[in-house]
Structure 1
């Protein structure tokens, strides 16, 4: 199946940004890992595939549980980084919706926020289900919409500067999108032929600093980073000023930012 314009944009956006991601947003994205692995029933001896492994936090945690772990990512830099993070895992380069594994090869398949970065979420979920053995578990996370207050911070700064999404960053096609709610995410898994589907919301406060949080978009990490770095230096400085002002809503006396976040954690059986 051909990659969509959204897929191609994602590949360009993440190219060469593994280290910048590791230094900025990776800690945030690692928070749901224990719940994700629990939802997938990951324990000693279980054959696990981590799709969209990024810096390898899920793969490493699964290895610590004694699982037999394979992991894939579409970005070569992430594969290198994940192989260092999870040296006991079999880490490979692969891109959804086609994975280089046989039908039913794994007892559990997990994807931590990977569905945020694919142009055909339903097709991606069907592929996760294909490589999960019958009766095995598939577990995935996405960011909810509307976003939690901490997650919305950077977007508010961009909006305050009067910046909109550039034309060269295509949004997900409307027919491929889905409601980013518990009900909407659960329905997506059911559409992908998973059974016994369940979805819950995980909430937490992410602790960071304004410098660390700004470093991600300043380096072009994720869609927000692509929006920021597409601007002129003058506009980037204006976004940064708005960001620093908005941080006052979340900063503790010691300078630490306390950013409320939420994620949807869903699972079903193949």
Structure 2
């Protein structure tokens, strides 16, 4: 486990409910396309890696798939078990999964590769557990971030936040890759997958300003940990800037319309590989 991985575990510890009430709704958007890309339907043995509150697992179960789901964070696993009661849900994490070689017909990972310290190694593990000829589908956030995704980061920067030493600065250079269509496709190729393809999904996420602020205010994800690590004065400044900047996205109904962009990739494990 890398320093980045350990920091991610600490960052998400105990955050299941706070995530479910904020950013989980955003991350649910690509789920139908993700399952289509993996060919998930009746009888398909599917593994959902990094299930979070179980959104993908529940949707796959509704399609008639036989679902196994894992997450590194116990509070997420508890929520996933409630959301997808027919799935087998347990605590486990990349880069080492407790499954046999070729155990699944399809493997999906919704916004999970953003949270691993060695993406190529993680993909090799996903390739190991999918059967020859089986499919993988995954999403990650595109870079540079779309305007809605950048809102909280802009407020944090404008408020004068200082990064605390316990938060990871990023991946080691040897593990980093371009967060665009060609970069993700090339990473899948390098991990031994076949027929890798990638597309960009764009959508406007609708949320109230209070809901969108609730994520970082509860310490969810990197932005939340940044916020809670600041002095009370700087936290107040960040909130003030958030209120100012969020007005750029407010509609007549008062809700924010936040543009986001994600990469959706699909590939196969080669027959006999």
TM-score (norm 2): 0.97
1:251 aligns with 2:245: no
Does 228-237 or 46-55 show the bigger shift? 228-237
Match of 1:66 among 64, 67, 71: 64
Structure 2, unpaired ranges of 5+:
none
- How do 1:156-195 residues align onto structure 2 when only pairs under 5 Å count? 156-170=154-168, 171-195=170-194
Comparing 186-195 and 161-170, the one that deviates more: 161-170
Residue 98 of structure 1 corresponds to 96
Q: Say how many residue pairs are matched.
A: 268
Unaligned runs of 5+ in 1: none
Give the match for residue 40 of structure 2: 42
* TM-aligned CA deviation for residue 58 of structure 1: 0.3
CA distance in 2, matches of 1:143, 1:57: 18
Q: CA deviation at 1:165?
A: 2.8
1:1-270 matches, cutoff 5 A: 3-170=1-168, 171-270=170-269
Q: Which string of whole-angstrom CA distances, capped at 9 and with x for unpartnered residues, describes residues 231-270 of structure 1?
A: 0111111000000000111001211000011110001101
Q: Deviations over 1:81-117 (max 9, x none)?
A: 1000100100010011000100000000000011111
- SS of the counterpart of 1:98? coil
- Conservation of the 8 A alpha-carbon contact between 2:162 and 2:230: no
Report deviation, 1:204: 0.6
Contact 2:28/2:55 (CA < 8 Å) preserved in 1? Answer: yes
- Equivalent-residue separation in structure 1 for 2:173 and 2:23 (angstroms): 27
- Distance in 2, matches of 1:203 and 1:255, equals 22
Computed over aligned residues only, the root mean square deviation of the Cα atoms, in angstroms, reads 0.7
Q: Does the Cα contact within 8 Å between 2:68 and 2:87 map onto a contact in 1?
A: yes
Alpha-carbon offset, residue 172 of structure 1: 1.6
Cα distance in 2, alignment partners of residues 206 and 66 from structure 1: 28
